[in-house]
Structure 1
């Protein structure tokens, strides 16, 4: 039984290691079983996302995922189901945020071009703020309403980074998440967006989104010291590495049409070293956590 659980959790770890080096690096320093729980959450969220974005290679449709998740105690045929049963038994995680995330992903079927910032914020909550709600019972022993609110802001801030970074990829899928009212505010037309034009108007659009993301990150990290120390470090590490993507966007002239912004390995190491000192953690302790596993 233990070997089956270990294999199941390893499969989830493989998904986050392959899908997001930033999140894998940040949360691998958690002690077990917290880090394995993060891997399970990531793996299921990845499957929800892939069901919409890559349906031809996804093992389930979004409706099939919702059906199996609703009847989780009976679900089989994929490692994610025993992994989720373990997660919900081990931590006070509820199903509601996962269903809200599915609701957000369904929007991609019907809303491909956003008109208002309000629409964007709603979407950011549904697909990313909910991840904060999923993670909090794993990362924090007793989160209050303020800590929960901060976790949601952090997820929303990360989604703004996703939207800025992925402009070109989303355009290829026929999607424009940057709202028309923001484009219009800065004199940037939809025709310009279709032609990948980078001018002062475009730079002003991305700079405003960057400022919004920074503001949401600030709100998201305001209560980070209330987490257990290692969780606090991992949460801030993931946030700062993600936020640094925006610096790379600016450094390359806000061209998010033709290149995908990223943070170099050296950049990530610099952020990690800074935060190790800030949170009073030793490299030895972090390495020990990274090598631990559920027993």
Structure 2
């Protein structure tokens, strides 16, 4: 049984953390929609425990301790929410949640990336795992290809986050842009730390952009096999995130001083186009597919 008060807490955390994700998944039927809220809320709490520990109710170590003792965990709405989640979706396992916490723990010690391989491993841990969490919620069945697609979409989204948050991450003492990529395009660590936007930096960001879009392409390879409401949600999430890349370019690639975002107007146009394609599968009612 869904506790409405607890579910509202999870949804509010999702709204606050990502309007894009909230809007993309708003058209899911219950209980899939509530399950996405719970997953996002817990991932947000994990992320905040590392990025904003002063504002977090738990340290990352405390979160992992409580999660491994979930049946007894108390003191926060997330614990009964997670118990409901695992009871309602028995194919969902604890492993991707533990892997994500492992990845976030890495942010405390491993802060400067040398290679794309290192970066992709990190992106799998903190975002590819979200694809693994969502699959048992968004669809009844799965196979290796579908699993890999869900992971790929998460990795692509994390690379978008890295592009968008270059300046913010620098202020936290982190550099996710791989040094080998900077060297390839002749862009130095000193230029990065000074916030220099030049053609060499643009070339670095454009290569990361191509990487992200390549992961998106893999991530959407089997979207037609999802239930229509779930497929629409996944496509919208990918479209909203890909549009962040366009916003970065439109702002002159200055990710040091500007945080790229996608306006509600742009999202509404994306929703209309995407929902129209799903109209026949959704009974001809694209307007009910999602709420912006």
Task: State the TM bucket, normalised to the shorter chain.
Answer: over 0.9
SS of aligned partner of 1:109: coil
Structure 2 unaligned segments of length 5 or more: list them. Answer: none
Looking at structure 2, the residues matched to 194 and 72 of structure 1 have their Cα atoms a distance apart, in angstroms, of 42
Write out aligned runs for 1:49-198 (5 A). 49-91=47-89, 92-198=91-197
TM-score, length of structure 1 as denominator length: 0.95
On the 8 A contact 2:276/2:286 being kept in 1, the answer is no
State the match for 1:293 in structure 2.
none
State the match for 1:24 in structure 2.
22
SS of aligned partner of 1:56: helix
On the 8 A contact 2:10/2:38 being kept in 1, the answer is yes
Looking at structure 1, the residues matched to 221 and 286 of structure 2 have their Cα atoms a distance apart, in angstroms, of 25
Give the superposed CA RMSD. 1.0
Write out aligned runs for 1:223-242 (5 A). 223-242=222-241
> After superposition, what is the alpha-carbon deviation per residue over 1:8-44, rounded to whole angstroms, capped at 9, x for unaligned?
1111011001110000001111000000000000000
Tell me by how many angstroms 1:251 deviates.
1.1
Tell me by how many angstroms 1:253 deviates.
1.3
Aligned residues: 286
Query: Where do 4+ consecutive residues of structure 1 move more than 6 Å?
Result: none
SS of aligned partner of 2:29: coil
> After superposition, what is the alpha-carbon deviation per residue over 1:271-293, rounded to whole angstroms, capped at 9, x for unaligned?
10110111124244326xx6xxx
The 10-residue stretch of structure 1 (122-131 or 271-280) with the greater mean CA deviation from structure 2: 271-280
State the match for 2:33 in structure 1.
35
Looking at structure 2, the residues matched to 26 and 200 of structure 1 have their Cα atoms a distance apart, in angstroms, of 34
